[in-house]
Amino acid sequence: MKFVLAPDSFKESMTAKNAALAMEKGIKKVFPNAECVIVPMADGGEGTVESLVSLSNGEVIKTDVIGPLGKTVTAEYGLLDGGQTAVIEMASASGLGLIKLEDRNPLLTTTYGTGQLIKHALDIGVSRFLIGIGGSATNDGGMGMLQALGVSFKDQDGEELPFGGGALDQLHLIDIGGLDERLKTAKIDVACDVTNPLIGENGASAIFGPQKGANPEMVKLLDQNLAHFAQVIETQLHLDIAQTDGAGAAGGLGAGLLAFLNVRLKKGIELVIEYTGLEEKIIGADYVFTGEGSIDGQTLFGKTPYGVAAIAKKHSVPVIAFAGRIGNGVEVLYNNGFNAIIGILKGVTPLEEALKSGQENLAFTTENICRVLKG
């Protein structure tokens, strides 16, 4: 028998790879000669570097960059394909998790460190990028990232703008003459799971600004500043990105990527499926096992198990999903490629204990499911 094991991480409990190994352990107790194809998954956000590096025996590169508040932080990215491909999570360099709650201020935060990660990868010969842009602490339209890559943003006096979305209203001139030449030939895929435009009531500032520390007055100011940013881009670069789907992702980083770099924006799970070669691995399988910490009706909207199930359904391979928590609305999943959704907890236990016992519980539950399959 052939099993494809393609879970996401069970957050705070086990990585995607460890979850797949736990599934394999359970399977082997019932089907000792089974072929288990381990494909750790992610959705383009946290855990994507770890999953793709572990799958391909890649390498994690660490380097110091300028963090979201201008202080040095150590960030990391993954190196795949013998150094040809870099997997970058912008949150590693410019993420909300790098700032204490009381210090969050999107008027000041910058994506400069994300640009430094891209440049570092270029310097060691990378020609293909997968960039996940979730979890940002920023609202600067990607200006900081672009400054790190050689673009100059000047005020009316010819001075370079300081970091942060609070400075964008001063933008007078964009000089792309210094943009790193290597970016013209680099292939850049951007994992983007939001369709928000750059500005307006559904834009970057209004929807995501508050979680980054913006009060209502700051939200209004940041939105006005991004509108000015978009206007200057339209006037000088002849690109209208204000209402483009995905432009509002990561505080407008989506807009900066679309306007200045040759990128492809796609749903994170679609890109990870492509990079892992999941579809080719599923062909000919008897079962696909997937899962993550929580599965509910929202899983249908781009979460990892749904992406995996959609590919399996295409090839008529049954899918069993495992979860630590099964929430409301899962019934809709049964019409979308899921044959069964199984909770892994053995009983009512404190959260801390449930998280600690995740691998053991997943292996045990997988074993029991396999005993049913064996008949």
Confidence at 349, pLDDT banded by 50, 70, 90:
confident
- β-partners of residue 62 are 76
pLDDT digits (tens, 9 = 90+) for 93-102: 999 999 999 9
Q: Is the dihedral of CA 111, 112, 118, 120 positive or negative?
A: negative
Are 134 and 193 within 8 A, CB to CB? yes
SS3 letters across the chain: CEEEECCCCECCCECHHHHHHHHHHHHHHHCCCCEEEECCCCCCCCCHHHHHHHHHCCEEEEEEEECCCCCEEEEEEEEEHHHCEEEEECHHHHEHHHCCHHHCCCCCCCCHHHHHHHHHHHHCCCCEEEEECCCECCCCCCHHHHHHCCCEEECCCCCECCCCHHHHHHCCEEECCCCCHHHHCCEEEEECCCCCCCCCCCCHHHHHCHHHCCCHHHHHHHHHHHHHHHHHHHHHHCCCCCCCCCCCHHHHHHHHHHHHCCEEEECHHHHHHHHHCHHHHHCCCCEEEEEEEEECHHHHCCCHHHHHHHHHHHCCCCEEEEEEEECCCHHHHHHCCCCEEEECCCCCCCHHHHHHCHHHHHHHHHHHHHHHHHC
Per CATH, is 48-268 categorized as 3.90.1510.10? yes
- Identity of residue 21: L
pLDDT digits (tens, 9 = 90+) for 54-93: 888 899 999 999 999 999 999 999 999 999 999 999 999 9
Pairing of strands 85-89, 72-80: antiparallel
pLDDT digits (tens, 9 = 90+) for 177-202: 999 999 999 999 999 988 999 999 99
pLDDT digits (tens, 9 = 90+) for 8-18: 999 889 999 99
pLDDT digits (tens, 9 = 90+) for 278-306: 999 999 999 999 999 999 999 998 899 99
Percentage of the chain lying above the pLDDT 90 cut: 92
pLDDT of residue 375 exceeding 90: no
Are 309 and 337 within 8 A, CB to CB? yes
Domain range list for the chain:
2-39+277-374, 48-268
Average pLDDT over residues 152-166: 98
Rounded-to-integer distance, Cα 101 and Cα 116, Å: 25
Q: Pick one of 3.90.1300.10, 3.30.70.1450, 3.40.50.10350, 3.40.50.2300 as the CATH number of 2-39+277-374.
A: 3.40.50.10350
The pLDDT, as a whole number, for residue 246 is 94
